[in-house]
């Protein structure tokens, strides 16, 4: 049975790579677009190509996009994911390079060609999507749905006291997306969900190691530097997987146990850069976003471990 048709936009760091493994195991990935964020653009593209090749999906085209935010200088998360974005694991170069065509053009063209068919999942800063929206304000309505790993609905941040990295990295792009969004079209899965329901505890990591597959070993190795950062900075009992959590919601909406529709904006000023501004007053403007607040943690982890237990030939064609 064919999987969910997916278009994935990513700044491929280590947790993005795990999300790509989940996507190819359970979905039908039509294309991947890359954006600067966790790592510079060329590194993000390299990591996407490596991951797809390892998963037996080297045929999926990878298109490079924006190398910097809309208006700001880039600020990577290499202190979290390693200089190579993959835990500094010295992975060999992929056998192929990126496909022709700019990511923004792909984001515009594919949903026009297949209206209402593709689900877009964004795993990095929203720069590519915002650039596409500035050219075509009606773009979001051409997707079946848009899921974004973005923000922190409880205002507890990972890059600042109140901001999540993807929104902080390009808050102007996040605002463009928010102003074009409606809650029936766009769902955000924030770092608050990952921090609470997608942490790979020591027990989970043992179960991952026991799977004994190439995918599982890869997923564990590339996240070791994230585990160190999580221990030292955010105080988690293990490393969390925000991008796989967002991908899981896209693939299995039944994992969602609690959500809200709200009017959401984003702060642009230096002191609160990237913080979500969620208006829950009775006098608030109409909702523009669905925010996921809670997911089924055991269900998420079963889906993830099942995907990582597969060999490449067991993924969807």
Residue 314 reports pLDDT greater than 70 = no
Q: For 166-224, what is each residue's pLDDT tens digit?
A: 999 999 999 999 999 999 999 999 999 999 999 999 999 999 999 999 999 999 999 99
CB neighbour burial string for 108-144, b if at least 16 within 10 angstroms, e if fewer: bebbeeeeeebbbbbbbbbbbbbbbbeeeeebbebbb
293 backbone dihedrals φ, ψ, rounded to 5°: -115, -25
Predicted pLDDT of residue 310: 87
Q: Which residues contact 136 (CB under 8 A, 6 or more apart)?
A: 108
Count of CB atoms situated within 10 Å of the CB of 40: 18
Q: Which stretches of 77-164 are DSSP H helices?
A: 78-81, 103-113, 127-135
Q: For 151-161, what is each residue's pLDDT tens digit?
A: 999 999 999 99
What's the CATH number of domain 4-314, 3.40.50.12160, 3.30.930.10, 3.90.1150.10, 3.90.245.10? 3.90.245.10
- Give 223-226's long-range contacts (Cβ < 8 A, gap of 24+): 223/14, 223/15, 223/18, 223/87, 224/87, 225/14, 225/80, 225/81, 225/82, 225/87, 225/88, 226/14, 226/15, 226/80, 226/81, 226/87
Q: For 65-81, what is each residue's pLDDT tens digit?
A: 999 999 999 999 999 99
Instruction: Round to whole Å and give the CA distance between 294 and 296.
Output: 7
Q: For 101-149, what is each residue's pLDDT tens digit?
A: 999 999 999 999 999 999 999 999 999 999 999 999 999 999 999 999 9
Whole-model pTM over 0.85: yes
Predicted pLDDT of residue 311: 78
Structure tokens at 136: 């075509």
Q: For 46-58, what is each residue's pLDDT tens digit?
A: 999 999 999 999 9
Average pLDDT in the chain: 96
Predicted pLDDT of residue 317: 33
124 backbone dihedrals φ, ψ, rounded to 5°: -135, -165
Residue 316 reports pLDDT greater than 50 = no
Q: Which residues contact 198 (CB under 8 A, 6 or more apart)?
A: 240, 241, 242, 244, 245, 295, 297, 300
Phi-psi region of 40 (alpha: psi -120 to 50; beta: other; left: phi over 0): beta
Residue 19 reports pLDDT greater than 60 = yes
In which residue are the tokens 């045929």 written?
A: 59
DSSP, residue by residue, 166-227: HHHH-HHHHHHHHHH--TTTEEEE-HHHHHHH-EE-HHHHHHHHHH--HHHHHHHHHTHHHH
Give yes or no for a contact between 170 and 126, defined as CB atoms under 8 angstroms apart.
Answer: yes
Give yes or no for a contact between 26 and 251, defined as CB atoms under 8 angstroms apart.
Answer: yes
pLDDT band at 234 (very low <50, low <70, confident <90, very high): confident
Predicted pLDDT of residue 1: 62
């Amino acid at each position: 049975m064919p999987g969910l048709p997916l278009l994935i936009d990513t700044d491929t760091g280590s947790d993005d790579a795990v999300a790509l493994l989940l996507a190819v195991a359970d979905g039908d990935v039509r294309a991947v677009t890359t954006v600067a964020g966790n790592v510079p653009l060329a590194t993000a593209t390299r990591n996407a190509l490596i991951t797809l090749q390892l998963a037996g999906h080297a045929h999926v085209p990878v298109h490079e996009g924006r190398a910097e935010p809309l208006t700001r200088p880039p600020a990577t998360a290499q202190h979290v994911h390693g200089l190579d974005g993959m835990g500094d694991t010295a992975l060999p170069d992929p056998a192929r390079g990126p496909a022709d065509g700019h990511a923004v053009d792909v984001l515009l063209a594919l949903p026009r060609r297949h209206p209402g068919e593709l689900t877009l999942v964004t795993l990095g800063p929203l720069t590519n999507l915002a650039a596409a929206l500035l050219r075509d304000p009606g773009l979001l309505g051409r997707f079946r749905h848009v899921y974004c790993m973005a923000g922190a609905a409880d205002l507890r941040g990972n890059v600042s006291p109140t901001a999540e990295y993807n929104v902080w990295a390009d808050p102007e792009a996040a605002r463009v997306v928010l102003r074009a969004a409606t809650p029936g079209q766009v769902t955000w899965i924030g770092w608050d969900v990952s921090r609470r329901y997608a942490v790979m505890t020591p027990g989970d990591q043992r179960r991952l190691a026991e799977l004994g597959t190439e995918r599982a070993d890869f997923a564990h190795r590339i996240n070791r530097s994230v585990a160190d950062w999580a221990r030292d900075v955010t105080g988690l009992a293990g490393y969390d997987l925000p991008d796989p959590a967002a991908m899981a919601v896209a693939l299995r909406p039944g994992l969602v146990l609690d959500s809200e529709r709200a009017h959401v904006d984003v702060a642009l000023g230096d002191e609160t850069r990237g913080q979500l501004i969620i208006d829950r007053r009775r006098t608030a403007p109409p909702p523009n976003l669905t925010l996921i607040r809670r997911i089924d943690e055991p269900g998420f982890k079963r889906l993830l471990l099942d995907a990582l237990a597969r060999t490449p030939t067991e993924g969807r064609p």
